[in-house]
Structure 1
Amino acid sequence: MASNNNQQPGLIASHVEYIKGAAVGAIGAATGSEAWKQSGEEEKQHGISAMKAASENRDPATQGYGKVEELAGRVTGCEGMEKEGAESAAHKGQ
């Protein structure tokens, strides 16, 4: 059960990092700053890697946030988050 507590914060933090990277990249695109675009892309890639690592052993029946996670995935454009939220919701009967 200890892995439950360790996986969720890592998964949440990695999603936040991805979203932050997307925002930094958008600012770079809007301002024409290659440094910001590059930094945003690096953050997004690191977030994706961290998400994959955090969700490798995740059990959607006991871990996850269901519909909330699915909707957050839709809003942020994160397909993995949307998919995992849907799987978790199905197991929780949401």
Structure 2
Amino acid sequence: MSSNNNQQPGLVASHAEYVKAAAVETIGSVTGSQEWQQSGAQQKSQAVEDMKHASEGREPQNQGYGKPEEMLGRATGCEGMQNEGAESAKKQ
């Protein structure tokens, strides 16, 4: 059970990194900075990999965060977070 507790903070932190990376990429687009765009894109890719790793073996219906996770998924455009939040909300 303690391994599940370790997975969830990693998942949340990975989502936060994804949001941060998307902001960097957007700033790069707005300012025309190729470096920022590329950096943001690379950070987003790494965050996606981290999310996949953190969610391995996770059962959303038992270990999800419910409606807040679903709403944050919508706000950030993360379909996986949206779906897992919706699944865990059914159980709450």
Structure that is richer in helix per residue: 2
Unaligned runs of 5+ in 1: none
**Number of aligned positions between the proteins:** 92
* Aligned-pair identity (%): 62
Secondary structure of 1:61's match? helix
In structure 2, the residue matched to 1:8 is 8
Cα deviation, residue 56, structure 1: 1.6
- Look up the match of 1:28: 28
Return the TM-score normalized by structure 1. Answer: 0.93
C-alpha root-mean-square deviation of aligned residues, in Å? 0.8
TM-superposed CA distance for 1:61, in Å, is 2.9
Instruction: Please give the TM-score of this superposition, normalised by the length of structure 2.
Output: 0.95
Question: Residue 43 in 1 paired to residue 64 in 2?
Answer: no
Instruction: List runs of 5+ in structure 2 lacking aligned partners.
Output: none
The CA distance in 1 between the partners of 2:70 and 2:57, in whole Å, is: 19
The amino acid that maps onto 1:91 is K
CA distance in 2, matches of 1:75, 1:61: 21
Question: Deviation above 6 Å: which 4+ runs of structure 1?
Answer: none
Offset, 1:91: 2.1
* Whole-angstrom distance in 2 between the partners of 1:60 and 1:82: 11
CA shift, 1:82, in A, is 0.3
What is the CA–CA distance in structure 2 between the aligned matches of 1:17 and 1:80, rounded to whole Å? 15
Between the aligned partners of 1:45 and 1:59, the Cα distance in structure 2 is 23
Question: How far apart in 2 are the matches of 1:61 and 1:30?
Answer: 39
> Are 1:56 and 2:85 matched, yes or no?
no
